[in-house]
Amino acid sequence: MLVFVLLGVSVLIFAILMTFSPERRAMTYVETPQQVKDIPQIIKQHGLDDPAHVQYFRWLKQISTGNWGWSFVAADTVWNAFWRYLPITLELNLFTTPLIIIIGIWLGTQAGIHKDTWLDHLTRIFAIIGWSLPTFLFALIMLMLFYGYFPLFPPGIIGDKVQMFILENPDKFHSYTGMYTIDGLLNGRLDITLDALRHLAMPVFTQVVVVVALLMRVMRSSMIEEISKEYVITARAKGADNKTIYFRHARKNALIPVVTVAGWLVAFSMEGSVSVEIIFNRRGIGWWLAQSAIALDIPVLMGMCLFFGLVYVVTNLVIDILYAAIDPRIRLT
Amino acid sequence: MADRHPRLKELKFTLYRIFRNPSALIGFCLLLMFGIIAVAAPYIAPPKYPRSPYVMPHKGFSPTPRPPSRQNLMGTTSGQYDIFYGVVWGTRTAFKIGFVVVGIAALVGITLGLVAGYFGSLADEIIMRAVDVAFAVPLLVLTMAIIVAFGRGLENVMFALALVEWRVYVRVMRSGILALRDMDYVQAAKVMGVSHVRIMLRHLLPNGIYPVLVIATMDIGSMVITAAFMSFLGLGAPKGYADWGQMVALARNYIIGPPGDPLKYWYTIAFPGLCIILFVLAWNLIGDALRDAFDPKIRRG
């Protein structure tokens, strides 16, 4: 099933690719301006005039060996550039995802327990506003306030001084993961970690506020549904106190539909990094994707479609496994 | 009045439920305001070039924004484009984007969802597998890929968004139809020899459309956001076109003013930004109220 989805995505991407003329597709093989005059040869050499199905299987073979083409924006092969940009986005999501899940589940539970109280209405207003805020606009406003008005959190990934230090002392700072917060700790340089965290604060906050709303609402309605079920009444009749009922009985069952949404949100927040990275000038996957779209860098966009398809497939797999862990009635076959 | 049509009675009850909700009232008021602005745009902000009213007029090319004055009610943004004019005509652009994208996507999605849900078997299998594949790539990424393939421009952004968003409606419509398909009244209609098309349009569609309406209402908001982001990146409306997303893009370099006066150019982002937020908020509030009104579980409390 999942393999099928991935294959389908590759067909979809290839279909988009085939809307380009052979000349334009030949451009993706060009790495220097001098090669532009060789385009007819490139078309012949790579068989870009062949029937569609022949080209598709050839393209699939290329993709699976890691030959994803050349990226103008990164001035590197798509494959290399991808691994260079990935840690930046991963770092952002490493901080946002747990926050989104913890805050979303906690607030949603509270709102569900205290239905129709001021807390519930407050979270409802917060959810609708968070939902209506375009990420890029909210990010700009945050930048305006917390960099312009209160110069607290600068954009970028790390400060100039730290950047200079790393460039000048390549022997003192070894890049293990490409994530500055973790590398700083691994190198025993707490100041670099703190500096990176200072740059991360606003992007993380922006993304959490925008994404948490949905998870919160799903958790709330799921919690309300569970509380009205009969086993809760039985537990109450037995004399169990509210804390036991809500957190030991109801919440566990209420989590089941939430897992689907949470898994979906992980993929979604990868997508949300596009606007955050553009505004806060963090050169990660999202930034690269947007720049490539502006520069009409075809191989990057096709590669990203495939990458996000992979993220989706893996996320679905993880959701299935989590289901079995939460709900023992579901068995993996 | 007891013999009134049952659908009319239900509609009246639904409307009563919707308008009992204060947030829906706010949403409708906001939407009414935007609607009036959009319809009356030629009177509120008379176009300088009647042939192309969506082009924002600008005096000079100075990149530094000017504060609100008597000539420019909300000031000018970089490139001296009049913010007031852009905001007024941008309302029309936003309505256009929302209605066109959601209209096309919903039409395609509802049709396919109906067919998949009603006929089942092979048709269902083919359509739903295609939807699975379409769902695997996130909205923003796929939209960007399609825009790159077909070229920039507002029309292409709308086309690309519709091409991505139909998948949502198929799933929602199909699940609604699946619940109705085996009901007695549908079986009875089949036995009586009513044609497939007539069953789908007269008996299934009116009863299964409500979840789609809720999704569509909220989708208008999120489509406007996505289109604004595309324009912000420079993939959408051409330069000078009255579009809120592009006005935010024009303001981008001025969100932080000169040292000592960091919020000097607040008006460049405040007005178009506020418009986007309020417009989307209006649709979301209405969608939220619709969901409560249509939900059979809490409908008659």
Is A332 a residue whose pLDDT tops 60?
no
Rounded distance between C-alpha atoms, residue B150 and residue B128, angstroms:
26
Share of chain B above pLDDT 70, in %: 97
Place of tokens 């209506």: A132
CA distances from A205 to A178, A179, A276, B54 (A): 22, 18, 10, 36
pLDDT of residue B300: 53
Q: What is the 3-state secondary structure (H, E, C) of A240-298?
A: CCHHHHHHHHHHHHHHHHHHHHHHHHHHHHHHHHHHHHHHCCCCCHHHHHHHHHHCCCH
Q: Do B144 and A147 touch (CB under 8 A)?
A: no
Rounded to the nearest angstrom, the minimum Cα separation between B23 and chain A is: 9
**Which is nearest to A315 in space by CA: A305, A307, A303?**
A307
Q: Do B145 and A8 touch (CB under 8 A)?
A: no
Residue of A nearest to B136 (CA): A309
Rounded to the nearest angstrom, the minimum Cα separation between B289 and chain A is: 11
Kindly state the average pLDDT of the residues A14-29: 77
Architecture of domain A82-152+203-312+326-332: Orthogonal Bundle (1.10)
Mutate which: B137, B226, B248, vs A, most A CBs within 10 A = B137
Domains of chain A by residue range: 2-67, 82-152+203-312+326-332
Rounded to the nearest angstrom, the minimum Cα separation between A34 and chain B is: 24
Rounded to the nearest angstrom, the minimum Cα separation between A300 and chain B is: 9
> Bridge partners of B82?
B76
Choice among A73-82, A133-142, B127-136, B219-228 with the minimum mean pLDDT: A73-82
Rounded distance between C-alpha atoms, residue A213 and residue B43, angstroms:
39
Size of interface A-B (CB pairs under 8 A): 125
Rounded distance between C-alpha atoms, residue A207 and residue A217, angstroms:
17
pLDDT of residue B157: 92
Q: How confident is the model at residue B3 (pLDDT cuts 50, 70, 90)?
A: low
> Bridge partners of A71?
A76
pLDDT of residue B98: 94
pLDDT of residue B2: 52
Is B144 a residue whose pLDDT tops 80?
yes
Across chain A, mean pLDDT equals 82
Across chain B, mean pLDDT equals 85
Place of tokens 């036991």: A244
Is B179 a residue whose pLDDT tops 60?
yes
Is B299 a residue whose pLDDT tops 70?
no
Q: How confident is the model at residue B208 (pLDDT cuts 50, 70, 90)?
A: confident
ipTM, interface predicted TM-score of the complex: 0.85
Mutate which: B30, B133, B222, B226, vs A, most A CBs within 10 A = B133
The pLDDT tens digits for B85-102 are 888 999 999 999 999 999
Q: Do B248 and A20 touch (CB under 8 A)?
A: no
CB-count burial class (<10 Å; 0-12, 13-18, 19+) for A76: middle
Of B132, B233, B256, the CB nearest to A148: B256
Touching A: B residues 94-153, CB under 8 Å: 129-130, 132-142, 144-150
Check residues B101 and B47 and name the one with the higher pLDDT.
Answer: B101
Q: How confident is the model at residue A230 (pLDDT cuts 50, 70, 90)?
A: confident
pLDDT of residue A63: 80
pLDDT of residue B278: 93
pLDDT of residue A31: 67
A270 contact residues in B (CB cutoff 8 A): 138
Check residues B91 and A213 and name the one with the higher pLDDT.
Answer: B91
Architecture of domain B17-45+53-294: Orthogonal Bundle (1.10)
Rounded to the nearest angstrom, the minimum Cα separation between B249 and chain A is: 10
Q: How confident is the model at residue A40 (pLDDT cuts 50, 70, 90)?
A: confident
DSSP single-letter state for residue A328: T
Is B81 a residue whose pLDDT tops 70?
yes
pLDDT of residue B301: 44
Q: Do A290 and B284 touch (CB under 8 A)?
A: no
pTM comes to: 0.87
Residue of A nearest to B271 (CA): A137
Rounded distance between C-alpha atoms, residue B138 and residue A315, angstroms:
13
Residue A241 φ/ψ, nearest 5 degrees: -80, 165
The pLDDT tens digits for A156-210 are 777 777 777 777 777 777 777 777 777 777 777 778 888 888 888 899 998 888 8
CB-count burial class (<10 Å; 0-12, 13-18, 19+) for B182: exposed
Of B248, B262, B285, the CB nearest to A148: B262
Rounded to the nearest angstrom, the minimum Cα separation between B59 and chain A is: 27
Choice among A95-104, A323-332, B32-41, B132-141 with the minimum mean pLDDT: A323-332
B288 contact residues in A (CB cutoff 8 A): 128
Q: Do A275 and B229 touch (CB under 8 A)?
A: yes
Rounded distance between C-alpha atoms, residue A306 and residue A16, angstroms:
12
